[in-house]
Structure 1
Amino acid sequence: MGPLEVRADGRTHTVGGNRQRTLLAALLVSPGRPLAAEQLYTELWGENPPPTFENSLQAHVYRLRRTLQQLAGPDGRAPELLTRSSGYVLELGDEETDAAAFRRLAGQARACARHTPDQALRLLDEALALWRGAPFQDVAQGPMSQSVALALEEEQLCAVEDKLWLGIQLADPVHSISELKRMRTIHPWRERLTEMLMLALYRTGRQAEAVETYNSTRHRLASELGMEPSLKLRQRLQQILNQAPSLDAAVPA
């Protein structure tokens, strides 16, 4: 989630060489699971591998294994890059990738959001703090790492939405309005952002702006996609127009 780095002995190290970074990124997608050599050929060279791709892959594996051992130092335990009959596997032992930590923390936050929303908010803060940029941003991505990067970006956006929702419930909604407007500009088709912005505006006494937010979204959906807002968004509008008492209850849903 950002540049590919290895942390060892309290220090952060970069991995030199585009092929080594690409190979390491591919192995980190599913650590502990064997990855077929054929998949690695595609990740490293795409549809045009060199004539000696089998020997080239073995050479890259050897260099990456040596690099990991050097980064771990004489007293550290390096991840094990093992050769299997069908391919290669990277064993991390007790270590954890940032992506795995992010997914673990985000899952814990979702699990406790209803009963302990303040704890969920802290977990989401911790999860989102792991992000340092786009996933695999310094790696020449193959099909596998590209699909994982897209999945991680979607999960990050969901976590940001969850954090904004909890922020509306637990704090003064006015603090969330500017960020919701910014996010809505970047992701205009995510109706959850529009719904949260409408709610935050309503709770700060800006009912007319909440209705205008809905109307502008409806107009854009109709003119650019030929669609109407979702039923959930239409229901939220009716609640705002009717000044439903439930809108004032700061209870996570």
Structure 2
Amino acid sequence: MQKVVKLANPSKAKSKGAVRFRLLGPLEIRTGDRINTLAGARQRTLLAVLLVDSGRPLPVEQLYNHLWGEAPPPTVGNSLQAHVYRLRRTLQQISDPATGPRLLTRPSGYVLELNEATVDVDIFHQSITRARSLMRRDPIAAHSLFEEALSLWQGDPLQDVIQGPTCRSVALQLKEEYLTAMEDKLSLGIDIADPVRTIGELKRMSMAHPWRERITELLMLALYRAGRQAEALETYNSARRRLVDELGIEPSVQLRERLQEILNQAT
């Protein structure tokens, strides 16, 4: 069982394990088998925005906006320094000073240098980039990489930080990247495995994201290849009715072409 430690008042004991930051879900700092959580939304937000822009100095004015919005307190400078001090102390206490992350002061603001620490968002991006490069020549390896990348997600990204402009836009972008990676994984699953295994997941995604036509297309294909042509055609008809009735538009060319391939038994 993993140990969970709240760091409102960090202890003096040091953990020398590699530091791993999690943004794909509740914000966490992991060292070995220990999960370190930051107390306070502003502490979590400060760390999150520094991680999103790790290696790049962030001006203090930008950090004021992230932490306090358009109504910062009169003592905002001192308040930011206090948050930086507490976060820096936390990072020093849980990591090796030679290899761990460092929160540095620069003339214009602050910068977080990761050193040997890792961020799950970076690993996610690296994995899906590698997976897409392998989709044609090694679909089995690509499918495995997509699964590994998607397994990093433990909930909505940046869910427990203050949703300023940067965190909000980053979270939206990450959600879109997640859905696209999921679609790519399921597309490969139809080709390299029993399509029946993907039908349930595609139906669930179709209900959660009814306007994503690629999900509809993949569901049609999986149903057809599972010998359920009538269901594949009804999936198209239902999607078309929804698009016409609620948005006043016809299905995309790609979705209509997939319908014709199924009717002609050419897919």
The TM-score range, normalised by the shorter chain, is over 0.9
Q: Counterpart of 1:80?
A: 102
Aligned partners of 1:9 and 1:76 also within 8 Å: no
Report the residue type matching 1:134 in the other structure. D
Residues 137/76 of structure 1: CA separation in 2 closer, same or farther (3 Å cut): farther
Q: Distance in 1 between matches of 2:33 and 2:234?
A: 51
Shift of 1:11: 2.1
Q: CA deviation at 1:9?
A: 3.6
Residue 193 of structure 1 corresponds to 215
The sequence identity of aligned pairs, in percent, is 63
**Contact in 2 for aligned 1:2/1:137 (Cα 8 Å):** yes
Q: How many residues align?
A: 244
Alignment of 1:36-51 (within 5 A): 36-51=59-74
Cα distance per residue 1:146-195 (max 9 Å; x no partner): 11111111111111111111110010101111111110000000000000
Work out which of the residue numbers 48, 55, 66 in structure 2 matches 1:32.
Answer: 55
Alignment of 1:124-163 (within 5 A): 124-163=146-185
Unaligned runs of 5+ residues in structure 1 are 248-253
TM-score (norm 2): 0.89
Cα deviation, residue 17, structure 1:
2.2
Q: Does 1:13 align with 2:36?
A: yes
Asked whether 1:101 is paired with 2:104, we answer no
Aligned to 1:250: none
Q: Secondary structure at the match of 2:118?
A: coil
Aligned equivalent of 1:118, options 131, 140, 156:
140
The amino acid across from 1:55 in the alignment is N
User: Does the 8 Å contact 2:99/2:116 carry over to 1?
Assistant: no
Kindly indicate whether the alpha-carbon contact (under 8 Å) linking 1:124 and 1:163 is maintained by their aligned counterparts in 2: yes
Question: Which whole-Å CA distance do the structure 2 matches of 1:95 and 1:10 have between them?
Answer: 15
Q: For structure 1, which segment, 174-183 or 10-19, has the greater mean C-alpha deviation from structure 2 after superposition?
A: 10-19
Amino acid in structure 2 at the alignment position of 1:71: I
Give the aligned residue type for 1:18. Answer: A
Matching residue within 59, 63, 75 for 2:86 = 63
Aligned with 1:189: secondary structure?
A: coil
**Structure 1 residues 76-124: Cα deviation after superposition (integer angstroms, max 9, x where no partner):** 7431101111111000012220001001101100111111000001111
Aligned twin of 2:193: 171
- For 1:204 and 1:98, the matched residues in 2 are separated by 36
User: Partners of 2:181 and 2:91 in 1: how far apart?
Assistant: 32
Contact 1:9–1:72 (Cα < 8 Å) also in 2 = no
Unaligned runs of 5+ residues in structure 2 are: 1-23
- Paired letter, 1:64: L
Give how far 1:206 is off.
1.1
Higher helix share: 1
Match of 1:214 in 2: 236
Equivalent in the alignment of 2:16: none
Distance 1:226 1:76 in 2: 60
Match of 2:113 in 1: 91
Separation in structure 2 between the aligned mates of residue 99 and residue 206 of structure 1, nearest angstrom: 38
| 1:109/1:124 contact within 8 Å kept | yes
Deviates more, 1:129-138 or 1:216-225: 129-138
Q: Output the CA distance in 1 between the equivalents of 2:86 and 2:219.
A: 51
Pairwise CA RMSD: 1.2
Residue matched to 2:3: none
What is the TM-score of this pair, normalised by structure 1? 0.93
